[in-house]
Structure formats: structure tokens, C-alpha cells
Structure 1
Amino acid sequence: METEIHFRTATEEDLSSIVAMLADDVLGKERECYEDPLPLSYIKAFQAIVSDSNNELVVACYGNKVIGVEQITFTPYLTHQGGWRATIEGVRTLASVRGSGVGTQLINWAIQRAKERDCHVIQLTTDKKRPNALRFYERLGFKATHEGLKLKLDK
């Protein structure tokens, strides 16, 4: 893949492509619902994200084609003397571009954006069922310094 990838804020027109990428892996197939039309829950979530100045949904594009996505949430904390953190979530690339450097460019873009927002740390999680993703993030300098816990809530 050529390196002429550009990044921009996602629009509602990108939502179908984004959900398709989220659903295109073993874990995503279990928890996402990619259909036409998309369930209203995705549209509501998208609207909440774009209306919050501390959330950014970013797409990587090759020409007009969306080939990657990530969400960055900026959170103020009292710890670290009132510092800000960036949390990276939902990083996905099209299956056809995996291994070509698009994911690295997405993460590097997020790191630069976190610096621009004066964050002192970037955090992310990856499912233990994705050992390749863990190795990917470690190659980019991320360290497993904390034990992360999640509690799934029943609806």
C-alpha cells in the first residue's frame, strides 16, 4: 500500500464502513451487527461521540476510501497533578490493508493528537484473545504496566 493516507474526522456517511471494519474479525462478528440499514444504536453512539469535544472518531482514508478507524477519548484526571489522558479505542483497519502499516500510522496519528491536547499518557486495552494486537502495540512502545479489569453489565 502506498503511504498517501490521510486522516480526518469521521462523518455519518462513514458509519457503515466503520461498523463493517468493527465486525470483520472473530470477536467483532460476535458483538457487532453490520446490516443495512445500520441499527439505530450505532447512529446514536456516533452522534454522542461527535457532539463531545473530548471524543474524536478518526478515519484513515486512501483517496475517498475509508481503510481504518480509531476513537480517541480525552479525559481529565485529578491524579498526575490534574493531567489529561488519551484513551484509544476501536482501532481497526480493512482486512485488505492489514500488515501494510496503516495501523501504525493510525496509532502514530493518535499519539501526535494526544501531544497536541497536552496529555501526559495514552492508554488502551486489547482483548487477551488478540495476541497479535498486543504484540503490535508493544512494538509501538506501549507497555503492559497495569492490570485492566472490566465488568460486563447486563442490559
Structure 2
Amino acid sequence: MDDLLIRRAEVDDVPALVAMYADDPLGAHRETPDDLAPYLTAFERLADDPNQNLMVAERSGKVVGTLQLTVIPGLSRRGATRSVIEGVRVHSDERGTGLGSRLVRWAIEESGRRGCRLVQLTSDATRTDARRFYERLGFTASHIGFKLQL
């Protein structure tokens, strides 16, 4: 993977990112790759926020993976800063190559560089393979998550 570049996403990457979000059973029902307008609006909000890090993995000029790393300053845990990893996706051509591990390890290292004392993430309960993947990387399933759709 010597030719892999992990960099900040650019607006021109949005179509490739949305295609990866839509390329799984859950994303196929909630993403709309044919209408990029809401994604472009969201991209601008992310690009303007220094605590948001929408990253891409690029190989030979092609976007092959992505994740979002959010840094959250806080008061709890003695004023600890934490990070949240979201939206980890690997292009179908690259699955099984170790790219997902490399992306998540990058996020963990970046969290440390940013002074975070905790890295957290969530994964849909139906994604059993993802749960094993994150556990192999040292994450523990320590909490029960809740969501409220608005």
C-alpha cells in the first residue's frame, strides 16, 4: 500500500464518497447518489469546521476509502477531548486489503496528535463483521447507543 495517500476530502471527491456510502445494504436505502445537493451543502459545513476531518484514501488518483473524524472538546473525564470516527467506507475493489484498518489507525493516531484521550465510534447492530473489525483494532463494546430520528 505504498501508493496510498490519506488526505482531506475536497469538493470534487463528494460523488465518489456518496457512491461508497450507498454501496452497502444500509446505505442503499438512505443515500441518494443521484442528488448531490444535500451532500455538497454538508461538505461546506464540514470544510468550515476545524474539528471536522472528512478524509479520503486515494490510490493512483482514485478515491478508495473514507472516514470522518470529529474532535470534541469536553468537560467530563477531567476536561478530556475525545474523537468520534464515523462513516468508514472502503471501495468494493479494495475490501479485504487492510485499507479499512489503515484508515482507522490513521484516525487513532490523529486523535492522539490532537490531544484526545478517548476515541469512540458506533456501528449499526446489524453489521456483525464491522463489530469484529473494530474489536480487532482494540475497540470494546462498552456502551448502549440510542438514536432519535428528527
Superposition TM-score, scaled by structure 2 size: 0.97
Match of residue 44 from structure 1: 41
5+ residue gaps, structure 2: none
Q: Quote the residue 1:65 is aligned against.
A: 62
Which residue matches 2:84? 87
Name the counterpart of 1:29. 28
Aligned partner (choices 118, 122, 130) of residue 121 of structure 1: 118
Aligned equivalent of 1:53 = 50
Distance apart, 1:104 and its partner CA: 0.3
Q: Which residue of 1 aligns with 2:128?
A: 131
Count how many residue pairs are aligned between Structure 1 and Structure 2: 150
The superposition leaves residues 52-78 of structure 1 with CA deviations (integer Å, 9 ceiling, x where unpaired) of 000000000112110000001100111
Alpha-carbon shift at residue 3 of structure 1 (Å): 4.1
Aligned mates of 2:21, 2:12 — CA distance in 1: 16
Query: What is the alpha-carbon distance in structure 1 between the residues aligned to residue 3 and residue 36 of structure 2?
Result: 33
> 1: distance between equivalents of 2:57 and 2:139?
21
Q: Which runs of 4+ in 1 moved over 3 A?
A: none
d(CA) in 1 for partners of 2:3, 2:144: 37
Give the TM-score, by structure 1 length: 0.94
Which residue is equivalent to 1:144? 141
> Retained in 1: the 8 A contact 2:22–2:31?
yes
Structure 1 unaligned segments of length 5 or more: list them: none
Distance (Å, rounded) in 1 between the aligned partners of 2:106 and 2:17:
18
Q: Contact (CA 8 Å) 2:65, 2:89: kept in 1 or not? A: yes
Structure 1 residue identity aligned to 2:132: R
Tell me how far apart the structure 1 counterparts of residues 148 and 136 of structure 2 sit (CA, whole Å).
Answer: 28
Aligned to 1:106: 103
Percent of matched pairs sharing the same residue = 43
Could you say which residue in structure 2 is the equivalent of 1:15? Answer: 14
Q: Distance in 2 between matches of 1:136 and 1:142?
A: 9
